[in-house]
Amino acid sequence: CSKDFLDVAPKDQLSDATFWKTENDADLALVGAYGTQTTDAFPNFFDWNEKSSSWESSWNINFMDLMTDNGYSQFIWDGVQTSGNGQVNPSDRNMHNFFKYDRITKYNTFLENIDRVEMDAEKRSRYKAEVRFLRAYDYFKKVMWYGDVPLVTASIADPQEANLTRDPKEEVVAFILSELGEIAPDLPVQDAIESGGHATRGAALALKARLELYEKMYPEAMVDAKAVMDMGVYELYQDGPTAYYDMFLSKNEGVNKEVIMAVQHIQNEFPSSVMQHLLSGEDGGWSSINAVQSIVDAYETIDGKTIDDPSSVYDPDKPFENRDPRLSMTVRHAGVEWSGGFFDPFNSESNDFHAVAVGPNSGYGVNKYAEIVPTADLLNGDVNVVVFRLGEMLLTYAEAAIESNQINDDVYDALDRLRVRAGMPVVDRAVYDSQEKLRELVRRERRVELAFEGLRHYDIKRWDIGDQVIPGPLYGSRTGSVDPVSGEVTLDDESTRIILEERVFLPSRNYLLPIPQAEIDANPNMVQNPGY
């Protein structure tokens, strides 16, 4: 009697002892591998969130370019500002998420136990491949952000055994690539609509191509990118003149075959907070995500020339006119058609005013993914945030080919497909006729096509251009006025240009994040990254 009275057990959680038996257990555990107990509204970006984190968070995509020359994070508590201006330090409570091993532990636990379940063998091998993909993806981010990291492929029973040393980046990269190669055949060939959000063979090869490109394994990157391009299930989304903007809207998710894999969101249950951060005050948003002058200047003019080309149609006083249409579809600058009128960050009576807390401090908002929603849905969005899409594969293929000096029609074709979709002329083969010129082109094309999709930091690092593009004052727009009727923008003189912050960048330090101080404190075997 005494025993029974004091023995109680939870009735809303499963017991470790009785789990891993049925196929239903495997289904639940697979979802658990992708999922999280928290909503995604304020996800695992901060390390105080001790709950298990999902395989990827839209924050990690939408905010990442703010630590590069593309953007600016105007709220320090969003966690990116110090990484952008170079002040990030090991005690920063932000940016720790990538170091967390909670996902790795979840994946390892899954892989260790899934064989205990009685289930269909084919389904089991697909489930295993999916989870191994997730593990490879997580290690991909870890090596990108920290360099050498402990490579853990089995769950750790005792906390004291977790004091591991860092394994060389090369070993981790080799592990990721071999995993991806092994699992790809076990994964289905499906677009993101058909897969419903699950990892596919396309996702595995896209990640493999991405990492190979980053590791300068150009022939391999060409092969894998090409395999994805030729898979037959992915197509560029080119429905209408604003296809480039429309492909990120949630209403087109059912028809957009360009997406290879995305973070899935659903209102109420697993919502996205991205609108809250993208929109500015008049629409109830916080303007957390700002574009800056440098990305605005990166877009070509409509005639396919750069703005510093004297023969281009560029007018510094009308900087938003006659530009690559992707500019206005990516950056919400003064005069962009918006909300039935024209966006105006210069009106001091408006909550879009750049100098108010919820106005874009740089004068530039970000339009990719942005659309006006009821204010109640700002933190409760259902838009999926793209992790891999065909566009990136075209650029990966082109860049790998150019770097391999295999310049042929396939290269021009890959770039042209993206340019034409955006409404730009095809590549001027006469101008871009050398490896050097094409390298310049593909890097610019990559920057504008993939702006605010979270990849710019990796590119800066592998091209080793951090000390060229980051340090110094971070500029926003010149101030001015917007005609509410015509939308015409009149800018004040150069002296009114907004300066957001002073950035520093040390190549010896800032290409990697610091290992969190808490980890250094807890683990005597952990060595800090240089410069921190």
Partner 1 sequence: MGYHNPIEWDTLENEKIFEDPEGEVYEDAGDSVADTGSHTSDSPDIARSVFGQQLKVSGTITDTDGQPLPGASIVEKGTSNGTQTDFDGNFTLELTDGNAILIVSYIGFATQEIRVDGQDNISAALEESAAGLDEVVVVGFGTQKKVNLTGAVATMGSENLENRPVTNVSSALQGQMPGVTVLQSSGEPGRDGASIRIRGVGTMNNANPMVLVDGIESSMDDVNPNDIDNISVLKDAASAAIYGTRAANGVILITTKRGKVGKPSFSYRGYTGVQKPTYTPEFLNSYEYAKLRNEGLVNEGATPQFSDSDLEKLRTGSDPVNFADTDWMDLLYRGSGMVQSHDISVSGGTENTKYLVSLGYFNQEGIVKNTNFDRYNLRVNLDTKVSKAFTLGLNTSISQREINRPNGDFFVYPHRTPPNISVKLADGSWNHYFNNNPIALIEEGGKHTTKDTHVLTTLFGVFTIAKGLTLKGVLAADFNFDDQSRHTKQFIWGDGTNSGANSIENELDRSRNITSQAILNYKEDFGAHSIDFLAGASQESFTRDFDGLSRINLPNNELTEINAGSKEGQSTEGFGVESTLRSFFGRANYSFNDKYLFEANLRYDGSSKFAKSDRWGLFPSVSAAWRISQESFLSEASWLNNFKLRASWGKLGNHRIGDYEYIPKIATSVNYSFFDEVADGVAEVVAVNENLTWETNTSYNLGLDLSLLEGKVRFSADYYNRLTEDILTPVPVSQIFGLPAPLVNAGAMRNKGIEFVIGTSKIQGDFTYDLSFNIGFNDNNVEKYAKPDKSNDRIREEGSPWNAYYGYESIGFFQTDEEVLNDPKVVGAPIQKGDLKFKDQNGDGEINADDRVVLGSDIPGTSYGVNLSFRYKNFDLSMFGIGAADVYGLLNDQVEFPFVNGGKAQVRHLDRWTPETPNAAYPITHINQWHNYEASTFNVRDASYFRLKNVQVGYNMPTEVLETLGVSKLRLYLSAENLFTISKFSKDFDPESPDNAWTNYTPVKIFSGGIVINL
Q: Of 352-391, which residues contact partner 1 (CB under 8 A)?
A: 353, 355-358, 374-377, 382
For partner 1, the binding residues in 117-146 under the rule CB under 8 A are none
Q: Give the residue, chosen from 121, 268, 308, 494, that forms a contact with partner 1 under the rule CB under 8 A.
A: 268
CA dist., res. 40 & res. 386, Å (int): 15
CA dist., res. 264 & res. 162, Å (int): 32
Specify the stretch interacting with partner 1 by CB under 8 A; choose among 159-167, 237-245, 428-436, 464-472: 159-167
521 binds partner 1 (CB under 8 A): yes
For partner 1, the binding residues in 291-330 under the rule CB under 8 A are none
Return the H-helix or E-strand segment holding 128: helix 121-146
Closest by CA position to 114, among listed 21, 214, 231, 5: 21
Burial label for 125, CB within 10 Å (0-12, 13-18, 19+), is middle
Placement of tokens 């106005």 in the chain: 359
Instruction: At 76, list the tokens.
Output: 């320090």
Least separation in angstroms between residue 530's CB and partner 1 is 18
38 or 406: CB nearest partner 1: 38
> For residue 360, which amino acid is it?
P
Q: Are 140 and 104 in contact (CB under 8 A)?
A: no
Closest by CA position to 418, among listed 409, 427, 428: 427
Least separation in angstroms between residue 470's CB and partner 1 is 16
Q: Are 51 and 374 in contact (CB under 8 A)?
A: no
Specify the stretch interacting with partner 1 by CB under 8 A; choose among 62-70, 347-355, 435-443, 462-470: 347-355
270 binds partner 1 (CB under 8 A): yes
465 or 526: CB nearest partner 1: 526
253 or 449: CB nearest partner 1: 253
5 or 121: CB nearest partner 1: 5
Count CB neighbours of 518 within 10 A: 14
244 or 343: CB nearest partner 1: 343
Placement of tokens 């800090």 in the chain: 528
407 binds partner 1 (CB under 8 A): no
Least separation in angstroms between residue 218's CB and partner 1 is 33
The site that binds partner 1 (CB under 8 A) totals a number of residues, namely 89
Q: Which DSSP category does 376 fall into? A: G
Q: Are 310 and 333 in contact (CB under 8 A)?
A: no
281 binds partner 1 (CB under 8 A): yes
Helix (H, G, I), strand (E, B), or coil: what is residue 420? helix
Least separation in angstroms between residue 13's CB and partner 1 is 4
For partner 1, the binding residues in 79-98 under the rule CB under 8 A are 82, 85, 87, 91, 93
198 binds partner 1 (CB under 8 A): yes
30 or 259: CB nearest partner 1: 30
